[in-house]
């Protein structure tokens, strides 16, 4: 895990990212676009207060040394539009289509996708919609398969988020390993993102659909993915347990696994250096221009 002084330095660098917007159908979509090289698309998770900056700010400067890094806010999150739940269904098929359409509008023909949690499911979904476009997948604590046991208390902290600062602390505590202490800046950043009324409505709709199980894919359909896949999971992840990671490895023929000790659901934040170096080693074998 990176030290406090290093984290501050990375945050200061990442504050220089320039927000960009593009119209994806009826959804004004926010993203960052940094660096040059093979295209690497980062897709954040679906927890309360999640967005591309908060999830990936430490990783973007590292990856941008060798790749064109595009970090996108999913529909309903961050600075991307939050349609009225009365007219838009916040389910996984909708997120899959939005991500796929975003890649189309950006005219990206060969991409490497990194998805965390719900963003992993969206990366899988976009790959299934247009397989030829995806060069490789990195799934970190990914959704997409049912959990064999009952949802954990740690997951329920997110699904039952009460829009308070203390509630956000519980959300973060459920996502990260007990050894991880979030900065006050991170807590406040994620909390403030949930205060907008449209965000509140969108998050409630996301959680409602999540409870229905719409994040899960048909397992035989997952077997059709033949791209190289790196499955990363925290050993202490209570939101997406190792059993799910193992099942992904069984379903994907061309897959590697990396289990990170002393790590929860937030490998990119809790153990940035380890996560980035592992991903870079994987990408060095599979990326193409």
Q: Each residue of 88-113: pLDDT tens digit? A: 999 999 999 999 999 999 999 999 99
pLDDT of residue 211: 80
pLDDT band at 6 (very low <50, low <70, confident <90, very high): very low
Instruction: Judge whether residue 3 has pLDDT over 50.
Output: no
pTM: 0.91
Mean pLDDT of 145-168: 77
> HSE of 266 in the Cβ direction (CA atoms, 13 Å)?
26
Tell me which of 67-71, 104-108, 147-151 is least confident. 147-151
pLDDT of residue 201: 95
CA-based nearest residue to 206, from 112, 53, 78: 78
In the chain, alpha helices (H)? 4-14, 52-56, 60-63, 92-105, 118-129, 153-159, 165-175, 184-193, 197-211, 219-222, 242-251, 267-270, 272-286
- Residues of the chain above pLDDT 70, percent: 90
Tell me which of 13-27, 46-60, 185-199 is least confident. 13-27
Give catalytic residues, as residue numbers: 117, 237, 265
pLDDT of residue 238: 87
Instruction: Judge whether residue 13 has pLDDT over 70.
Output: no
Q: Where along the chain do its domains lie?
A: 4-286
pLDDT of residue 150: 62
pLDDT band at 5 (very low <50, low <70, confident <90, very high): very low
Instruction: Judge whether residue 9 has pLDDT over 70.
Output: no
- Residues of the chain above pLDDT 90, percent: 75
Instruction: Judge whether residue 198 has pLDDT over 50.
Output: yes
Domain 4-286 - what CATH class? alpha beta
Cα 25 from chain centre: 22
DSSP state of 150: P
Task: Kindly report the backbone phi and psi dihedral angles of residue 176, in degrees, each rounded to the nearest multiple of 5, phi listed first.
Answer: -100, 165
Write out pLDDT tens, residues 210-247.
888 788 999 999 999 999 999 999 999 988 899 999 99
pLDDT of residue 149: 61
CA distance 65 to 44: 20
Instruction: Judge whether residue 15 has pLDDT over 50.
Output: no
pLDDT of residue 212: 81
CA distance 253 to 289: 23
Instruction: Judge whether residue 144 has pLDDT over 80.
Output: yes
Instruction: Judge whether residue 129 has pLDDT over 90.
Output: yes
Decide if 74 contacts 102 (C-beta within 8 A): no
CA distance 85 to 116: 24
CA distance 68 to 131: 20
Q: What is the mean pLDDT of the chain?
A: 89
């Amino acid at each position: 895990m990176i030290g406090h002084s290093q984290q501050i330095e990375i945050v200061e660098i990442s504050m220089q990212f320039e927000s960009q917007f593009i119209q994806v159908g009826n959804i004004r979509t926010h993203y960052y676009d940094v660096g040059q090289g093979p295209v690497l698309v980062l897709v954040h998770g679906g927890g309360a207060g999640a967005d591309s900056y908060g999830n990936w700010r430490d990783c973007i400067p590292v990856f941008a040394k060798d790749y064109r890094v595009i970090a996108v806010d999913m529909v309903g999150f961050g600075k991307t539009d939050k349609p009225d739940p009365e007219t838009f269904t916040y389910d996984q098929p909708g997120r899959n289509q939005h991500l796929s359409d975003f890649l189309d509008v950006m005219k990206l023909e060969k991409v490497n996708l990194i998805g965390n949690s719900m963003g992993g499911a969206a990366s899988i979904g976009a790959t299934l919609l247009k397989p030829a476009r995806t060069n490789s997948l990195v799934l970190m604590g990914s959704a997409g398969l049912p959990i064999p046991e009952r949802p954990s208390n740690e997951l329920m902290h997110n699904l039952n988020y009460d829009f308070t600062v203390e509630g956000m602390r519980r959300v973060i505590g459920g996502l990260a390993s007990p050894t991880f202490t979030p900065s006050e800046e991170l807590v406040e950043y994620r909390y403030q993102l949930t205060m907008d009324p449209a965000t509140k409505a969108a998050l409630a709709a996301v959680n409602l659909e999540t409870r229905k199980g719409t994040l899960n894919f048909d397992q035989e359909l997952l077997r059709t993915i033949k791209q190289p896949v790196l499955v990363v999971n925290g050993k202490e992840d209570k939101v997406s347990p190792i059993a799910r990671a193992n099942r992904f490895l069984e379903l994907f023929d061309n897959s590697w696994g990396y289990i990170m000790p002393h790590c929860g659901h937030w490998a990119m934040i809790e153990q940035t250096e380890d996560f980035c170096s592992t991903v870079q080693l994987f990408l060095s074998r599979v990326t193409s221009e």
